[in-house]
Chains A and B, each alone.
Chain A
Amino acid sequence: MEWMAWTPTVAYFFSAVGVMLLGMTIWQIVSPSIPRRGFLPLVTTRGDRLFLGLLSAAYISLAWTGLTDMNQWYGTAIAFTVLLIVMRWG
């Protein structure tokens, strides 16, 4: 694994992604998602909303990094809030 040049931060990140996917799978088995339409202009399942939320979060984080010099944690907080909004009302 040395060649993969692991850092603790990236390991936590991918662990979180793994836990999220596992959690979503269990959630889906226990309570299957019903496609619905929220404020997004398309019918989505829970998994679709997670994907869109994560994609939006990634773009917000990149925009924060590229456009501002403020602390990255603020950008992360905004990105996480957007993820939650998309998951709940998207």
Chain B
Amino acid sequence: MKPINNKAWLLVLPVVLCVAFSAVIPLMTVVNYSVQDILSPEQKVFVGTEWFKTVLRDPELHGALLRQIIFSATVLAIEIPLGIMLALALPAAGWRSSLALVLLAMPLLIPQNVVGTIWQIYGRTDIGLGGVALHALGTEYNYASNSLHAWLTVVVMDVWHWTPLIALLAFAGLRAIPEAYYQAARIDGASRWAVFRYIQLPKMRGVLLIGLLLRFMDSFMIYTEPFVLTGGGPGNATTFLSQYLTQKAVGQFDLGPAAAFSLVYFLIILLACFVFYTLLQQSQSADQKG
């Protein structure tokens, strides 16, 4: 089909310029850094793929990547079902529904560094309510010295912070289901589980995929909360990819390896984005056919 005219492309130009300024030019700079040893602003030595070799064979990076994958998988495995359960339990309409939604959305309004600080204080065994309560129950809870406790605290903090997002998305998906579907299910004598499995879940697929994509990307880039809460410790127990990268780039000022690692990180994110985008497209086309 022949386009009527191509003037609409001009409307895209401001976005293209913004993206070029904020993403493409910095990306080009990072690529330049990744193939050079930056000794000083005036002194740079071309090293080819040397930094890529270094970072790809770095056991610390392998550890950070593994921890990152485990963290993202864990929080997604908890947040998605929990978010759905919360959405199903919410009142469908009326002031109770509005109140529940506002209360539910509150953690989403809190900045990440404040969330980290809240949980850092909450988990402290001397002044924190959570830490003191766990001690009173007879546990040796201490997120500052025990890796498992640090992990649990980081995961619980993320679940507390972000499950509401999934719940709100799932709630919106549930409200969009026409009443006729439920009437048909009642006529057929469908069980509660059957209604969920064959009506609610398929109808929520689109919003849940968006939630999955958002949460995966966000959890895969997590930095502020664990940095404030545990500082990546004890040892490297909660050092995830972003923090590892920041340590390299800002802490040690190893710009070459940090740039090479940034590009590897970018490729991982790009692949994940593509997979989720394809799933979303397939889900939308399935919905249109159905």
Could you tell me which A residues sit within 8 Å of B by CB distance? 3-7, 9-10, 13-14, 42, 51-52, 55, 58-59, 62, 65-66, 72
Contacts and interface: CB of A to CB of B under 8 A. Distances in A.
B270 interface: yes
Q: How large is the interface on B (under 10, 10 to 19, 20 to 34, 35 or more residues)?
A: 20 to 34
Interface in B231-290: 264, 267, 270-271, 274, 278, 282
6 closest residue pairs by CB, A with B = A66-B56, A5-B32, A4-B29, A65-B52, A10-B32, A65-B49
Given A62-B267, A65-B49, A7 B32 contact: yes
A9 B33 CA distance: 12
Contact of A5 (B33, B48, B270, B278): B33
B264 A42 contact: no
B56 A9 contact: no
A55 to B, nearest CB: 6
Q: Which of A7, A13, A14 has the most CB of B within 10 A?
A: A7
A65 B271 contact: no
Contacts of A65: 49, 52-53, 56
Given A4-B28, A9-B46, 8 more contacts: A5-B29, A5-B36, A7-B36, A42-B278, A51-B274, A55-B271, A62-B267, A66-B52
Given A65-B53, A66-B57, A58 B29 contact: no
What is the predominant secondary structure among interface residues of chain B facing chain A? helix
What is the predominant secondary structure among interface residues of chain A facing chain B? helix
B48 A55 contact: no
A66 B29 contact: no
15 contacts: A4-B32, A5-B29, A5-B32, A5-B33, A5-B38, A7-B35, A7-B36, A10-B28, A10-B35, A55-B271, A59-B267, A59-B271, A62-B56, A65-B53, A72-B49
Contacts of B36: 5, 7
B31 interface: yes
Contacts of B56: 62, 65-66
